Structures are given as C-alpha cells and as structure tokens.
Amino acid sequence: MIKLSPSMLSADFARLAEHIAEIEEAGAHYLHLDVMDGSFVPNLSFGMPVIAALRPHSKLVFDTHLMIRRPERHIEAFANAGADIINLHIEACLDPLEAIRKIKSLGKKAGLTIKPATPAEALFDYLEELDLVLVMSVEPGFSGQSFMPHCLPKVERLAEFVQRRGLTTEIEIDGGISLDNVRRVTSAGANVIVAGSAVFDAKSVGHAVRCFLLAFETSVAKE
Ligand code: DX5
Ligand code: ZN
C-alpha cells in the first residue's frame, strides 16, 4: 500500500488544525512534521509544543522528521508530545542503533533519514531494526525545492534490499514531489510519499490529496 504524508511545513500556520482536518478527511495516511533547529539545517520551524497542541485534533499518524543535531537527546520529549514515527537523520546521530532502540522502547516507530549526499548503503546495517527509512530528494531545510532525480537509484537499492530480506520497512521519500513526478518515485519502490507544497499550495488541499491517492492507485495497477 502506498501512503501519503503531507508535510505541514507548507500549511498555513494560522490555520493548522483546519488544514490538518482537511487532509485527514480527504484520506491522507500520515502527517509529516518537519522539526528544524537552525543548526543541522539553516531553517527553524517548530517543536514539541506545536506537535502536542495538534495531537488531540487528529488521528493521523504523526510522522516526525527531526532535522536537529543530536536528536537522541529529545526522543522522549517527541514521544510524549504525540509523535508516532520518529525519524532521525543518520548524519546527526552519534549512535543510530541506540537511538532506534530507545524509540522502540517507548512504543514508537523508528526511522532513519539520509540527506541527498549520503549513500543508501549507510542504512543497510540498520534496516532490520527500522520501521521506516526516509530518503531526502532535496537538501533538508525548506519546502518548495526541485526534486533531485539522482536520489531515485537509492530508493531502488533500498527497496531491493528490503524485498530480498523479506523486511516490512517502509521506504519514504521527501522533497520536490508533485503529481508530475510521483509515479517515478513509486515505481522506484517508495511507499510513503511526502508532499508539502504540492498539497498545501493547491487551491483545494482536499482535492490535491485525492489526486495523489488516485495516482497511487494507478501506479499500483501498473506494477
Ligand atoms: C524539507 C522538508 C520537507 C518539505 C517538503 O526539509 O523535510 O518535508 O517540507 O516540501 P515539498 O514537498 O514542497 O518539497
Ligand atoms: Zn520532511
């Protein structure tokens, strides 16, 4: 099954609860929450208080993408705020395995993320322990950037590894995904699709979500 994880970074921050209700109603599966610290990435966004405030308003899976240095320091706080999936950048972590185990011991799903310059192979040692891997297809930090096609072979190699080992690890892709290129990423093997501006900059957010879901159905039918 292919899932949509709209990225709240592109939403209207003055109408967050309303926007989230709209994507939930339209059938989105996850809510992608981009946390930035102004150090690991040049931008700052929001943190645990915003996630905790939104939690009672939504049943969506909170897919938390932590673009912060030494994210292991904050795992418990994000778990308490209501994150369901906690994605850490492998480049920002001192001991990824210890971090994964900590996330799981708190009853949450663990993800590791790679930047465009990090090879897929950096994740191989952790795949058996991970619920999800996230391949960045833009430099993390900002929404609305152009998709980097050189990231597709990384998705293919991860999908092949997951399939060969019979794992259930989800493969997520994030950055520059639109209705024009979404089939390329699903055919490469990604099954959780992040879309920020393509959903929240649309005239109707609900309509944009439904168009993505339709594209998923047709890409599955082709396989
Ligand atoms: C970038 C974020 C992405 C971003 C996606 O650092 O991790 O999740 O919000 O936005 P689009 O889909 O507009 O590239
Ligand atoms: Zn993200």
- For 127-163, write each residue's pLDDT tens digit: 999 999 999 999 999 999 999 999 999 999 999 999 9
Strand residues in 14-159 grouped as ranges (E): 30-36, 61-67, 85-89, 109-114, 132-136
Strand residues in 91-220 grouped as ranges (E): 109-114, 132-136, 170-174, 192-195
Give the global pTM: 0.97
Task: Give the contacts of 133 (CB within 8 A, at least 6 positions apart).
Answer: 111, 112, 113, 114, 123, 127, 158, 169, 170, 171, 172
pLDDT value of position 220 = 67
Sheet with 30-36, edge to edge strand ranges: 3-6, 192-195, 170-174, 132-136, 109-114, 85-89, 61-67, 30-36
Is pLDDT of 222 > 60? no
Token representation of residue 66: 């932590």
Question: Count of CB atoms within 10 A of residue 214's CB?
Answer: 11
Cα of 173 from ligand 1 centre, angstroms: 10
Ligand 1 pocket, 145 CB below 6 A? Answer: yes
pLDDT value of position 175 = 98
Least Cα distance to 92 among 145, 139, 39, 134 occurs for 39
In tens, the pLDDT along 54-72 reads 999 999 999 999 999 999 9
Residue bearing the CA closest to ligand 1, atom 4: 143
| Residues β-bridged to residue 66 | 35, 88
Crossing angle of helices 16-26 and 205-222, in 10° steps, is 30
Least Cα distance to 47 among 60, 65, 31, 61 occurs for 65
Q: Taking residues 98-109, what's their average pLDDT?
A: 98
Cα of 202 from ligand 1 centre, angstroms: 15
Ligand 1 pocket, 144 CB below 6 A? Answer: yes
Residue 25 buriedness (CB in 10 A; 0-12 / 13-18 / 19+): exposed
pLDDT value of position 218 = 86
Least Cα distance to 135 among 166, 99, 169, 108 occurs for 169
Catalytic positions are: 34, 174
Ligand 1 pocket, 174 CB below 6 A? Answer: yes
Phi-psi region of 55 (alpha: psi -120 to 50; beta: other; left: phi over 0): alpha
